[in-house]
Copies of this chain bind each other. A is one copy, B any other.
Amino acid sequence: MPLRLDSRDADFAAAFTALVDARREADEDVSRDVAAILKRVRAEGDAALADYTSRFDRHDLEASGWAVTRAECRAALDGISSELRDALELAAARITAYHEKQKPQDSDGTDNAGVRLGARWRPVDAAGLYVPGGRAAYPSSLLMNVIPAKVAGVSRIAMVTPTPNGVINPLVLAAASIVGIEEIWRIGGAQAVAALAYGTDRIKPVDVVTGPGNAWVAEAKRQLYGVVGIDMVAGPSEIVVVADGKNDPDWIAADLLSQSEHDPTSQSILFTDDAVFADAVAAAVERRLPLLSTQAVATTSWAANGAIILVRDLEEAMPLVNRLAAEHLELAVEDPEILFEQVRHAGSVFLGRMTPEAVGDYVAGPNHVLPTGRRARFSSGLSVLDFMKRTSFLSLDQAAIDAIGPAAVALAEAEGLPAHAASVAVRLS
């Protein structure tokens, strides 16, 4: 049974705080093991990769090939149904269109002191993309990671994906073919992230590593942050639904379960102002659960982390929603604008009764790589900006340095940095 809270209850504040503070992220202490893997890949390169892949993935890279070829990707694309192919192509086109609008503007101008000031955005040279193997090998994640890098103008994209027992997910290869990835290495785990960051004889180093992964991959990214850029450290998926009593309870139940089925640590929370509706959603969840092939995961997640929270009115929910700062937020009401205006922290918001979160996972356009675990308080979903960087620039002439230089000299001297002061002072007229 999921948690049931009522904002009218005397102990609500404490119970809600406990819900906000509950950590669902595993504290697996893999940091020492990961550090050892990174060190060995850095020192031994491809030999270490081959050994780890043989041990962890039971797969001989020398015998079956280090890389997936373009021909293999093309064959995978040819092998899927036209319905799936059309779906992948629609998704790729819509994701591309959305991310094109994220491209930042350069700036360049001269102010009234005669100082030319500006900023220029450029793509990174190379991006590395981690795509998990096995059950969590999602072609949609591949699209969501590759397309922002392509739109940013990154000229080299290197993908790594483990192929346990040599088996590759054909849908992932089909998606790779659609977006045109030229470089796919059959490696995974912390060792693959190390190879991307440090480079080996075979694999040239990249500048940014993105993509989801297990605890080892996440820890490798965390440890290599600074050697390369990374997207974020992702935790379990989550959804908050704010719904009035006029929704179909069965629809809202489906929305809640769409997160619960991801992982036993996923979280689905419903806020509603209608106690009868709350009961109807709870009942609909129970009816739907046995029908799912993901029943075991969804049942565990819903019971352990699910919550139904009754509020006096939906406006009362909004400060609570902001405290949760959820990855996904549905505002399932007739006119969601009033509530939306009050949203300060959320990864992505789904407005109205006809906008289920799952449509955003695949084909709507915005990125589905979003901050989890309350990190929407300070971070954003994956975007074109994660694959670009800004260089500021500055140009002064004699008049400009005469105008603002003396202040720089004064401050440099006050900070005890005489060479700073001198480099400006020598140019003053």
Q: Which residues of A contact B (CB under 8 A)?
A: 83-84, 86-88, 90-91, 94, 97-98, 101-102, 107, 111, 113, 115-117, 119, 122, 124-125, 135, 138-140, 171, 207-208, 222, 225-226, 228-229, 232-233, 248, 250-251, 254-255, 257-258, 260-262, 288, 291-294, 298, 336, 340, 343-352, 354-367, 370-371, 373, 375-381, 383, 385, 389-398, 400-401, 404-408, 410-412, 414-424, 426-427
* A420 neighbours in B (Cβ, 8 Å): 258, 261, 358, 361-362
**CB closest residue in chain B, given A31:** B31
Q: What CA separation (Å) do A262 and B418 show in the bound complex?
A: 10
CA distance A271 to B203 in the complex (A): 31
A345 to chain B, nearest CB (A): 7
Contact B359 A404 (CB under 8 A): yes
Q: Select the residue from A261, A412, A417 with max chain B CB neighbours within 10 A.
A: A417
A416 contacts B348, C-beta separation under 8 Å: no
> Given that A408-B361, A410-B83 are known contacts, is A356 also in contact with B251, CB under 8 Å in the complex?
no
Contact B377 A91 (CB under 8 A): no
- Within 8 Å CB of A225, what residues of B? 222, 225, 233
Once the chains are docked, how many angstroms separate the CA of A366 from the CA of B116?
Answer: 11
- Write the nearest CB–CB distance from A151 to chain B, whole angstroms: 14
For the complex formed, measure the closest distance between the CB of A235 and the CB atoms of chain B, giving whole angstroms.
9
Q: Is A378's CB under 8 angstroms from B423's CB?
A: no
Known contacts A87-B410, A261-B420, A362-B408; A355/B228 CB under 8 A: no
Q: Is the CB of A363 within 8 A of B288?
A: no
Asked whether B226 lies within 8 Å of A416 as measured between CB atoms, the reply is: no
Known A87-B410, A124-B377: A250·B426 in contact at CB below 8 Å: yes
Q: Lowest 7 A-B CB distances belong to which pairs? A: A229-B378, A366-B392, A87-B407, A351-B395, A257-B419, A254-B423, A358-B420
A60 to chain B, nearest CB (A): 28
* Option from B229, B350, B394 in Cβ contact (under 8 Å) with A360: B394
Residues of B within 8 A of A229 (CB): 375, 378-379
Contact between B122 and A407, CB atoms less than 8 A apart? no
> When the two chains form their complex, are residues B125 and A377 in contact, meaning their CB atoms are under 8 A apart?
yes
Q: Which of B139, B254, B347, B424 contacts A358 (CB 8 A)?
A: B424
Residue from A359, A377, A410, A416 whose CB has the most chain B CB atoms within 10 Å: A359
Cβ A426 vs Cβ B378 within 8 A:
no
Known: A254-B422, A420-B258. A414 touches B91 (CB 8 A): no
- How far apart are the CA atoms of A367 and B392 in the complex, in Å? 8
Most B CB atoms within 10 A — which of A124, A294, A393, A397? A393
Which of these, B254, B379, B381, contacts A392 with CB under 8 Å?
A: B381
Smallest CB separation, A100 vs chain B (Å): 11
A408: chain B residues within 8 A (beta carbon):
87, 358-359, 361-363
By a CB distance below 8 angstroms, the chain B residues around A412 are 358, 361-362
A417–B261 touching, CB < 8 Å:
yes
Contact B351 A404 (CB under 8 A): no
Task: Say whether B427 contacts A251, CB under 8 Å.
Answer: yes
In Å, the complex CA distance between A352 and B98 comes to 39
Q: How far is the CA of A392 from the CA of B348 in the complex (A)?
A: 5
Interfacial chain B residues near A298, Cβ < 8 Å: 419
CB-defined contacts of A101 to chain B, threshold 8 Å: 107, 119
